[in-house]
Amino acid sequence: MPATRPRIDVSRDPEALAGRVAQWIADLACHSMGPFAVCLSGGSTPRRFYQLLAEPPLRDVMPWQRIHWFWGDERFVPWDHPDSNYGMAREAMLAHVPVPPGNIHGITFAGTPAEAARAYQYVLQSYYGAERLDPARPLFDIVLLGMGPDGHTASLIPGEPVLDEQERWVAEVTHGRPEPRITLTYPALDSSRSTAFVAAGGDKHAMMQRVVAGERELPAARIRPVGELIWFFDEAAHGGR
């Protein structure tokens, strides 16, 4: 388990949950100074709060010029592919806000999955300004995470060797799913001032309880950020209804 137990934040329903998370992101960004790094998640749940960030009133207060956008994982597909996490975030948010193109750091579909992973690690290290992570200086200001029905998060999949990676910041995942994936590893994901899991729906309740209890065979349970950890739920996910 993390050194500090996660904080639980429960919203009435999925729409209220999206509004709560979007406001939380905006508050942290607006109260920051200097560059602000956000690591985005894929999946269906984040789409709505990405949309809310791109709409008034939040669109008008977000410090878009200072925010850098990264991804926790990506399917090894072109950005215009319907399964691309980059494509989803662009369609829902980034195409509709005044973010400098140089602040958008997608995982590129080029070469082999291993080459793409190495290239993205270089992107992260270039932004960070070092090849080693310092716990006192987190890589990210916010890491957003989801949780799959098998307890995976990002593309940290149960039983895969990537779960034991402690040196690389980014790794290819070539088994366990129909398509290869590129994922940030625990060292990179844990290097965050504020980490949030976001879950909606009663089908997430049982797995959420196991993850929060710290069952180590579940990848999501092994997230140990250097900063705060928050679970944002709707009432169905929290109460199992």
Q: Is the pLDDT of residue 147 over 90?
A: yes
- pLDDT, residue 212, reads 87
Flag whether pLDDT at 105 surpasses 80: yes
Query: What is the average pLDDT across 81-104?
Result: 98
pLDDT mean over 163-192: 94
CATH topology of domain 7-37+45-139+153-202+223-228: Rossmann fold (3.40.50)
pTM of the predicted protein model:
0.96
Q: Which band of pLDDT confidence, cut at 50, 70 and 90, is reported for residue 1?
A: very low
Categorize the per-residue pLDDT at 157 as very low, low, confident or very high, splitting at 50, 70 and 90. Answer: very high
**pLDDT tens readout for residues 37-59:** 999 999 889 999 999 999 999 99
Cβ contact 84:77 at 8 Å: yes
Q: Which of 114, 119, 138, 113 is nearest to 128 (CA)?
A: 138
Confidence of residue 240 (pLDDT cuts 50, 70, 90): low
- Average pLDDT in the 93-114 region? 97
Distances (CA, A) of 64 to 54, 95, 104: 10, 12, 11
pLDDT at 96 over 70: yes
Q: Which residue has the higher pLDDT, 81 or 3?
A: 81
Mean pLDDT of 127-138: 97
* Residue 236 parent element (H or E): helix 235-239
Residue 241 has pLDDT above 80, yes or no: no
**Average pLDDT estimate for 11-15:** 96
Residue 241 contacts by C-beta under 8 Å, 6 or more apart in sequence?
A: 202, 235
Where do runs of H (alpha helix) occur along 54-176?
A: 85-92, 113-128
Q: What is the rounded distance in angstroms from the CA atom of residue 82 to the CA atom of residue 101?
A: 21
pLDDT-based confidence at 107, cuts 50/70/90?
Answer: very high
Q: How confident is the model at residue 135 (pLDDT cuts 50, 70, 90)?
A: very high
What whole-number distance in Å separates Cα of residue 46 and Cα of residue 88?
Answer: 9
Instruction: Tell me which residue of 3, 49, 6, 2 sits closest to 26, measured CA to CA.
Output: 49
Of the chain, the percentage scoring pLDDT greater than 90 comes to 88
pLDDT at 176: 72
User: pLDDT value at position 43?
Assistant: 86
Q: State mean pLDDT over 199-208.
A: 91
